[in-house]
């Protein structure tokens, strides 16, 4: 669990984060979202003590950050950034092994863990292990960045616009891969993004910030159907009910996919894989019921 209690951070006169109180539950993804400059990265970087708050307390596992030994915190909290930050003169497996090396794992154990993680993020270990970062595409480098953050199996993961620097197609693939990994690993994640669809797709809860202030904290469905104020209403946009369809799963697909297929089928009822080996039939009326429920 990560808890912010009345946390304020200033840069000189500028208040970057203002009196923030927020709890991220274990095993959940909290998406921090808001316009550029609203304090997302500042909030994130206080969690691993790259920045210190001016007021208030942040706790991880119930213990105040100021009571942690820095090395202990580094082990508990993995960090993924947009620019990835892979070291150019090190091979992929060595980049993944940065923390294990600090922990003085044997080379053999480091390699085994790197291979396991490459597998997890969808890169063939035999092909990628020995490569240098300059031989990776943006998407591949980002996957290696995620593998590196997971190397010592930290229960917490901080991600600052991790998929922001790649093309939209690759971003979609990476988001899906991350969702799949998270479903298995159940890390406690704080994800910074400025992309509402990404926040909806990946976040169990969404924290919406503006000028350092938290305007709403809730599930995607709550934020979309009950915007707390005018700012949130504007931010989620007039197509918020369409976005809501993205948040509702219908077996292996979302309601939005189902609507798309219904429209493509000219309104004829469609058969969907129900995810349990069987199928189910959906028409517009059934879809509307599902949105209401």
Ligand X SMILES: Nc1ncnc2c1ncn2[C@@H]1O[C@H](COP(=O)(O)OP(=O)(O)O)[C@@H](O)[C@H]1O
Q: List contacts with ligand X (CB under 6 A).
A: 11, 14, 16, 36-42
Closer residue to Mg ion (CB): 41 or 216: 41
**Rg from Cα positions in the chain:** 21
Closer residue to Mg ion (CB): 86 or 191: 191
Nearest approach, Cβ of residue 39 and ligand X (Å): 4
Nearest approach, Cβ of residue 36 and ligand X (Å): 5
Closest by CA to 209, choosing from 3, 26, 48, 37, is 37
Nearest approach, Cβ of residue 194 and Mg ion (Å): 8
What is the distance between the alpha carbons of residues 44 and 267, in angstroms, rounded to a whole number?
45
Instruction: Provide the CB-side half-sphere exposure for 132 (13 A, CA).
Output: 5
Closer residue to ligand X (CB): 11 or 284: 11
Nearest approach, Cβ of residue 53 and Mg ion (Å): 17
Instruction: Provide the CB-side half-sphere exposure for 244 (13 A, CA).
Output: 18
Which partner from the list Mg ion, ligand X, none does 134 bind, CB cut-off 5 to 8 Å by kind? none
Instruction: Provide the CB-side half-sphere exposure for 2 (13 A, CA).
Output: 26
Closer residue to ligand X (CB): 14 or 183: 14
Binding site for Mg ion (CB under 5 A): 41
Closer residue to ligand X (CB): 41 or 216: 41
Q: Is 82 helix (H, G, I), strand (E, B) or coil?
A: coil
Q: Is 274 helix (H, G, I), strand (E, B) or coil?
A: coil
Nearest approach, Cβ of residue 199 and ligand X (Å): 13
Closest by CA to 177, choosing from 143, 152, 203, 138, is 143
Closest by CA to 158, choosing from 255, 236, 44, 57, is 44
- What are the backbone angles phi and psi of residue 87, rounded to the nearest 5°? -80, 120
Which partner from the list ligand X, Mg ion, none does 215 bind, CB cut-off 5 to 8 Å by kind? none
Nearest approach, Cβ of residue 247 and ligand X (Å): 23
Closer residue to ligand X (CB): 2 or 16: 16
Closest by CA to 52, choosing from 37, 36, 62, 66, is 66
């Amino acid at each position: 669990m990560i808890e912010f209690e009345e946390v304020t951070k200033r840069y000189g006169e500028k208040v970057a984060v203002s009196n923030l109180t927020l709890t991220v539950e274990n095993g959940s993804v909290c998406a921090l979202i808001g316009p550029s400059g609203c304090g997302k990265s500042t909030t994130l970087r206080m969690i691993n003590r790259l920045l210190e708050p001016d007021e208030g307390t942040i706790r991880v596992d119930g213990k105040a950050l100021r009571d942690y030994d820095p090395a202990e915190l580094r082990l508990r909290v993995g960090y993924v950034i947009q620019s990835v930050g892979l070291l150019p003169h090190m091979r992929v497996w060595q980049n993944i092994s940065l923390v294990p090396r600090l922990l003085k794992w044997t080379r053999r154990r480091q390699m085994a863990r790197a291979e396991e993680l490459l597998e997890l993020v969808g890169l063939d270990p035999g092909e990628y292990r020995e490569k240098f970062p300059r031989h990776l595409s943006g998407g591949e480098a980002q996957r290696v960045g995620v593998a590196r953050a997971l190397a010592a199996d930290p229960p917490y993961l901080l991600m600052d616009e991790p998929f922001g620097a790649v093309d939209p197609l690759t971003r979609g693939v990476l988001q899906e891969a991350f969702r799949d990994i998270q479903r298995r690993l159940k890390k406690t994640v704080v994800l910074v993004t400025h992309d509402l669809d990404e926040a909806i797709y990946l976040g169990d809860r969404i924290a919406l910030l503006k000028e350092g202030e938290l305007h709403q904290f809730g599930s995607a469905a709550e934020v979309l159907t009950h915007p707390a104020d005018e700012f949130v209403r504007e931010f989620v946009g007039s197509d918020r009910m369409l976005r809501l369809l993205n948040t509702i799963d219908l077996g292996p697909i979302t309601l939005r996919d189902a609507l798309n297929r219904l429209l493509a089928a000219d309104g004829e009822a469609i058969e969907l894989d129900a995810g349990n080996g069987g199928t189910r039939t959906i028409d517009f009326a059934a879809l509307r019921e599902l949105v209401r429920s």
